[in-house]
Structure 1
Amino acid sequence: MSESPIDKLRRFIDKSDAIVVFTGAGISTESGISDYRSQGGVWERFQPVTIREFIADAGKRRLYWQRKLALYEQNKDAGPNPGHLAVVELERRGKLLGLITQNIDGLHQQAGTSPDKILEIHGTNQEVICLSCQEIWPWEHAYERLIKGEEAPVCEKCGGLLKPNTISFGQSLNAAVLNRSFALAEECDFMLVLGSSLVVEPAASIPRVAKQGNSGAWLAIITQSATPLDGLADLKIAASIGETLSAALVAPS
């Protein structure tokens, strides 16, 4: 009898001791958060504001904050879904080496994954940072000021520009976070990709390193769309992340 995709995924999980999970927008769309790159998404409807424009142009800065506020109001009630909770279960079983996410929504932390297991390669919208003194505050620090009418909040310590602690167009990724992500790819025995199209570099190369690097890890991809690594993967499932993982984490009857 041939092995079903769910049974194969279950076998990979059961036989692995150092799983790295790599998540993209697809896991959060199951919580009702739209994919920025999808048809009708934010980047199709709005021209992104680059980091250079944010710093140099007060009008662009105000526009940026208007959009951030609108997106926050749109998504503030979104919560973790079964896919996020499945990652928590992997950690509970002692199998999760690390979680690398392209998402900025903080839902993995909200679900209960340990913060020290999480690498947010595109930053987080749960914080704001001063671009001058690097002071960090919770998002609510800026939100309360925005809803009171401030159009582009500035740092209360030094007067510098505040910005959500995310990576904008033209802004460099955090080198330490990226390096640690590639290191995890070399250390894992199973790379599990959830909801990423694997087209945004250099992050998209992380699963390839896991498969082709020194670790020779299994690679499974669960995402509705095709990815450039589908042919390299040991397993590709085009189905709901939450439903697929929930089934794989239950012992077969």
Structure 2
Amino acid sequence: MARISSLKQANRILILSGAGVSTAAGIPDFRGPDGLWTRDPYAELVSNLSWYLRDEDVRRAAWRRRVDPVTWAATPTAAHRAIVGLEKQGRLRAVVTQNTDGLQQLAGSSPDLVHEVHGSMRTWRCEMCGRTGPMEEMITRVNAGEEDPRCIHCGGITRATVILFEEVLDADVLEASVEAAEDCDAIVAVGTTLSVYPVAALFPLARRNGAYSVIVNDSPTEYDDEADEVIRGDLNETLPALLGVGEG
């Protein structure tokens, strides 16, 4: 009861969401035992900026993965909807997510409250002229037979607007995430092992600023010993109960 009472008293809750939230929706992760990089080491090259820019075969592989129907068929889960319910109550400070699938916004979260620190797979960008657009445009072209679609405006290399290795995080997104960690009164890390930095550093930052802290994950994390509460189990069941809301 103390755990529920603590979160019910919080009015500025920061949700820190990781790959576990996406895998619960059917989207494979990267680093896990059955992750993309574990099963196919070549897949890691697709996430490397220099390889992507210089190797047409890497880009072709990236686009094949990008149009994977399994990923695009995924829909928001009870965990996503519970977070929307928290926002409807006016108690959500922000969602800082390491996921690029956009499912939190599809569930109904306000885009302004969702900080996608690793970018989004739902838009594309040209590396030469900087133009952007919805990913549906590129999916249509790839499915029509273009293996390495170029920008129709300048002929430049195009890619999803996700953060690749060798890139820095978006400064504005990171700043907004840090601000949320500094002034939230509770932080809930869900579906993350809290091992990828600098995002993982937001958890102890929030604690240092007095936030009540909870970890919801199916495996141990680096901060279990520091958290006020650690909850195991199916996050689609535990998170709605923890937040004290329905599915939104």
TM bin (shorter chain): over 0.9
State the secondary structure of the residue aligned to 2:159: strand
State the secondary structure of the residue aligned to 1:204: helix
Specify whether residues 133 and 9 from structure 1 end up closer, same or farther in structure 2 by C-alpha distance, changes over 3 A only. Answer: farther
1:89-168 to 2 correspondence within 5 Å? Answer: 89-168=85-164
1:195-206 to 2 correspondence within 5 Å? Answer: 195-206=191-202
- Is 106-115 or 34-43 further displaced after alignment? 34-43
In the alignment, is the contact (CA less than 8 A) between 2:151 and 2:158 conserved in 1? yes
CA distance in 1, matches of 2:237, 2:61: 38
Specify whether residues 172 and 82 from structure 1 end up closer, same or farther in structure 2 by C-alpha distance, changes over 3 A only. Answer: same
Long gaps (5+) in structure 1: 1-6
Q: Quote how far apart the aligned CAs of 1:10 are.
A: 2.1
1:182 equivalent in structure 2:
178
CA distance in 2, matches of 1:119, 1:8: 30
Specify whether residues 19 and 67 from structure 1 end up closer, same or farther in structure 2 by C-alpha distance, changes over 3 A only. Answer: same
How many pairs align?
241
State the secondary structure of the residue aligned to 1:20: strand
Q: Aligned-pair RMSD on alpha carbons?
A: 1.4
1:4 equivalent in structure 2:
none
Deviations 1:97-153 (A, max 9, x none): 111000011110010010010000000101111112221111101000000110111
1:34-113 to 2 correspondence within 5 Å? Answer: 34-46=28-40, 47=42, 48-49=44-45, 50-69=48-67, 72-113=68-109
Q: Quote how far apart the aligned CAs of 1:78 are.
A: 1.2
211, 215, 219: which one aligns with 1:221: 215
24, 35, 44: which one aligns with 1:30: 24
Deviations 1:207-232 (A, max 9, x none): 111012xx210110000011111111
CA distance in 2, matches of 1:164, 1:31: 21
CA distance in 2, matches of 1:8, 1:140: 46
1:245 aligns with 2:239: yes
Q: Quote how far apart the aligned CAs of 1:8 are.
A: 3.7
State the secondary structure of the residue aligned to 1:149: coil
Specify whether residues 250 and 201 from structure 1 end up closer, same or farther in structure 2 by C-alpha distance, changes over 3 A only. Answer: closer
CA distance in 2, matches of 1:32, 1:57: 30
Q: Quote how far apart the aligned CAs of 1:250 are.
A: 5.4
CA distance in 2, matches of 1:32, 1:65: 20
State the secondary structure of the residue aligned to 1:76: helix
State the secondary structure of the residue aligned to 2:177: helix
In the alignment, is the contact (CA less than 8 A) between 2:187 and 2:206 conserved in 1? yes
Q: Quote how far apart the aligned CAs of 1:9 are.
A: 3.7
CA distance in 2, matches of 1:31, 1:57: 32
213, 224, 228: which one aligns with 1:230: 224
